[in-house]
Chain A
Amino acid sequence: MTLTKKPLALVVASLSALVLTACGAAPGSDSSSASTDDDAAVSAAEELGMDLADCPAGVTEPLPAEANVGLTLPLTGGPATAFAVLGPGAQAALEEANATAGLDTSFNVIQKDDQFLPDKTLAATQELVQKDQVVAMTAVVGTAGVMAIRDILREDCVPGVSMAAGGVGAIDPEYPEIVQGVVPFTLDARIWVEAVNERYPDGAKIATFIGNTESGKDYGEQIDRWLEETGSASEIVSAETIEAADAASPSSQVTTMRNSGADVLFAAPTGGQCISMLTEMANQGWEPETFLTTNCASSTYFGAAGPAADGVQTVQSFKDINSPRFAGDEGIAAVRDALTEYAPDADVENTTTYSGYFYAETLVEAAKAAAESDLGLSQLGIIYAARHLDFHSPLLIDGVDFTVNGTEDMVPIEAAELNTWSVDDGGFVQGELYDFEGELTE
C-alpha cells in the first residue's frame, strides 16, 4: 500500500513554475571613452556631475541624420493591455517632430517588450543601447524598471527622457541622464499632507493603505517625510498594505483601518485595487476624508467605483481626456489630431495613449532646446537640455509646467490640483492648485 505523492509534486511544481522569474545579467560596455576640448561640453557635464571620460566616444557629436529612440514597455503579459498603447502615442510625437520640428535628425522609434518586469527591462535596454544604438530612451514604465536600467544609461551616457516612473529612483541626482515624466509620488504625498495640515490644524488621525511595491515604499517614505518636514500635528494610526497582485476585496485592511479611528485615509494601492478599496469602504460604511493616488486619477477608475468614489480627492497635473471639464480643450484636440495623423493605429480614447505622446513630446522639446544650444543636437546636448527644460505641454493643466534645473531641481512636475470626484457632475470638480516648484528635490 502506498500513499500517492502526485498532489505534492504537482502543487510544488506548479507554484514554482508560476512564481519563478529569471535573473538579469549585469550590463557591460565596450565603448571607447569620449574626450573633448569643447569647453561648453566639459562645463555642462561637470554641472551635472558627469565625467565625459566615462562616456563613450560620440556623446558630444551631433546626432546622425537618422537616429533610433528606444522604448521598453509591456507588449505581452497582463500589464500589456494597460501600457502597450504608450508606443503609438510616443510614435506620434516623434513622427510629428520629424515632420514639423525642423531638426537635423529624424527619429525612428524601436519598441521592445519588457513584460513590466525589471529584469526584462534591463535585457531589452541592453539590446537597444548596444545593438540598436539608440541615442535616447523614453517612456520606460515603472520605478523598478527605471532603477534596473539607470546604470546602463549612465555607463553609456544615454538620455532617458521622460520616464513613466513616479518614485524617487527616477529623480536621483546621481543619475542626471534620467528625467521623470509623471506626477511624482512625493508631490502626491506633499499635497495630501498640506491639505490635512490646513483642514486639521490640531492634527488628524491618518490611516495609510499602500501597495507592497517599489512605488508603495516611496509613498510611505514620502508621507513620513512631509509629515515631519511640515511639522504636522497629524499622526499615522494605521498602516495597511496590499500585495500588487491581490485582487480580493481588501476587507480585512479596511476593517482594521476603520477600527483605528482614522479621520483621514491616504491610499496608494495598484490599478483595480483603487476601485475595490473604495467599494469595500462604502460597504463597511467607513467614510474618512480620502486621498487616492494620482495613479488612479482618471475617470476610468473613479467612474468604475460608482457612488463609492463620490467625494474622494486626488492629485491631478494632467488633463483627464474623458472629463467633461476638458471636453472642448484645444490642447487635447491638438494632440488627438497629431495622434490621428501620425499614428493612425493609436487608440485616441485611451488616456495612456496621451501619456505616451507626452513622454516623447518631452524628449522632442529637449532635442529642440539642445539643437539651439552650444552643445548642439548631441546626446550630451539632450541630457543637458532635458535637465534644464521649462515648457508647458498642452496636456498639462493650466498652472502646471514641466520645469527642472540641473541637479538642483530634479523634479519636473511640482504643481497639481487637488480635485474631488463628483458623481453628480460625472467628473472631477476643480480644486485648489498647489505649487511647490523647486521644493521637492531631496
Chain B
Amino acid sequence: MDLFVARVVDGFNNGVIYGFLALALVCVYRGTGHLNLAQGEMAMFSAFTAYAFYAAGLPVVLAILGACVVGFIAGGVVERVLIRPLGHHADYSILLVTIGLFLMLNAGAGVIWGGDPLPFPAPVPSTPDDYISFLGTRLRYQQILVFVVLVVVMVGLFLLFRFTRLGLAMRATASNPDSARLMGMRVNQINGLGWMMAAGVGALIGALVAPSTTLTTGMMFNFLIYAAAAATLGGFDSPVGAVLAGIVLGVVENLVGSYVDWVGSDLKQAVALVILLAVLMVRPTGLFGTKKVERV
C-alpha cells in the first residue's frame, strides 16, 4: 500500500509541473488563439534569470519574483516584436516563429550561463529532513509549495477569464479578433497581455522546478511535451482543465510505467502521447474545453 501511495505521489508531483506549464500554454491560447512552443524555453530562461539575480545577492524569493517581472515584460516584447507583425491569422507562421524562439533561447542560455548544470536553491527549507509524512510517503515542503502556488495561479486565472471584463475581452479576441476590433476592443494590447501573463506564469514554474531538476538548458523540453498533452486533454482554453489533466496525466503515466512491465520507464512518455492521441480523436476540444460555435 505504501508503495502504491508513493507512486501516486510521485506521479502527482510530476503532474503538478505538467499542469503548471500547461497553464502557461493556456494563457497564450486563451488570449490569442495561438500555441507557443517556446513556452518551456521561456520558463527555462527565466529560471536562469532568477539564478542570475540570486547569484548577484538577492534572496531567493526576490530573485524568483524579479525573474517573473522580467519574464512578464519579455513576454510583451516577444509579442510586440515577433508575433504581432505576422498578423492574427498567421497560425503556422507564428508556430514557426515560436520554434525559432525556442532554439534562440536554448542556445542563448547556454552561451550566457554555460553548459554545466547549476544548483538552484528552493525558497523553502529543502534538506532531506524537510518533509511531512503522509501515508508512509514524504511530502516535501518544496513540492507542497509548487502545488499551492499552482492552485493560487489557477484560481486567479479562472476568475480572471470567467468573471472580469478583461477575461471576456481576451476570450473575444482569441475567438474572433476582427469582430472584437469592430466592437472597440484593443486586440493587440490584449494579445500582448496574454503573452505577458504566460511568460510570467512560465517564469514562476521554471524557477520553482529548478531546485529538483537543476538548472540546465534542457530542463523544460520534456515538460513541454507533457504540458501540451495536458492542455490538449484538459482543453486549451480551460485553466482548470489543463491543471487537472496535467495531474491525471502524471499519475496515470507513473502508475502505468510502474505496474505494466512492458511499459516501464522506457515507454512512460508514450503513455502521455497515446492519451493525447486518443483525446484528439475522440474529443478534440479536450475534456473541459469549449466547443467553438460559428454562425453559418
Report A's interface with B, CB cutoff 8 A.
Answer: 1-8, 10-15, 17-18, 76-84, 212, 240-243, 245-249, 251-253, 255-256, 259, 271-272, 275-276, 279-280, 282-285, 300-301, 304-308
Minimum C-beta distance from A12 to chain B (A):
8
- Chain B 261-272: CB-based contact to A (< 8 A → 1; otherwise 0): 000111001000
> Cβ of A241 and Cβ of B218 under 8 Å apart?
no
> Cβ of B286 and Cβ of A304 under 8 Å apart?
no
> Cβ of B107 and Cβ of A251 under 8 Å apart?
no
Instruction: Known A7-B286, A248-B17; judge A282-B99 contact (CB<8 A).
Output: no
User: Does any Cβ of A come within 8 Å of B258's Cβ?
Assistant: yes
> Cβ of A10 and Cβ of B119 under 8 Å apart?
no
Residue count of chain B within 8 Å CB distance of chain A:
67
> Cβ of B115 and Cβ of A283 under 8 Å apart?
no
Residues of B73-129 at the interface with A, using a CB-CB cut-off of 8 Å, are: 91-92, 95, 99, 102-103, 106-107, 110-111, 114-119, 127-128
Q: What are the residues of chain A within 8 A of B214 when measuring CB–CB?
A: 272, 275-276, 279, 304
> Cβ of B115 and Cβ of A81 under 8 Å apart?
yes
Minimum C-beta distance from A79 to chain B (A):
7
> Cβ of A247 and Cβ of B92 under 8 Å apart?
no
Residues of B206-233 at the interface with A, using a CB-CB cut-off of 8 Å, are: 212-214, 216-223, 225, 228, 231-232
How long is the Cα–Cα vector from A249 to B221 in the complex, in angstroms?
A: 14
Q: Could you count the A-B residue pairs with CB atoms below 8 Å apart for me: how many are there?
A: 169
Q: What are the residues of chain A within 8 A of B231 when measuring CB–CB?
A: 7
Q: What are the residues of chain B within 8 A of A251 when measuring CB–CB?
A: 10, 13-14
- Chain B 147-163: CB-based contact to A (< 8 A → 1; otherwise 0): 00000000000000000
Residue in B107, B223, B266, B285 whose CB lies within 8 Å of A3: B285
Q: What are the residues of chain B within 8 A of A283 when measuring CB–CB?
A: 128, 131, 138, 140
Residue in A13, A82, A242 whose CB lies within 8 Å of B115: A82
How long is the Cα–Cα vector from A256 to B258 in the complex, in angstroms?
A: 8
Residues of B1-31 at the interface with A, using a CB-CB cut-off of 8 Å, are: 3, 6-7, 10-11, 13-14, 17
How long is the Cα–Cα vector from A241 to B293 in the complex, in angstroms?
A: 46
Residue in A2, A81, A247, A308 whose CB lies within 8 Å of B222: A247
How long is the Cα–Cα vector from A76 to B232 in the complex, in angstroms?
A: 32
> Cβ of B220 and Cβ of A247 under 8 Å apart?
yes
Q: What are the residues of chain B within 8 A of A253 when measuring CB–CB?
A: 265
**B290's closest neighbor in chain A, by CB?**
A4
Residue in B33, B92, B212, B220 whose CB lies within 8 Å of A249: B212
Residue in A76, A243, A275 whose CB lies within 8 Å of B117: A275
Q: What are the residues of chain B within 8 A of A275 when measuring CB–CB?
A: 117, 119, 214
Minimum C-beta distance from B60 to chain A (A):
15
How long is the Cα–Cα vector from A13 to B96 in the complex, in angstroms?
A: 10
> Cβ of B217 and Cβ of A13 under 8 Å apart?
no
- 21 pairs from A and B in contact (CB 8 Å cutoff): A2-B294, A4-B292, A6-B91, A7-B35, A10-B91, A11-B35, A17-B99, A18-B37, A18-B99, A78-B106, A82-B115, A240-B264, A242-B265, A245-B218, A251-B10, A253-B265, A255-B3, A256-B258, A275-B214, A283-B131, A300-B117
Q: What are the residues of chain A within 8 A of B257 when measuring CB–CB?
A: 252
Further pairs besides A14-B99, A247-B213: 7, Cβ < 8 Å: A8-B284, A79-B115, A80-B110, A242-B265, A243-B266, A247-B218, A272-B117
> Cβ of B222 and Cβ of A241 under 8 Å apart?
no
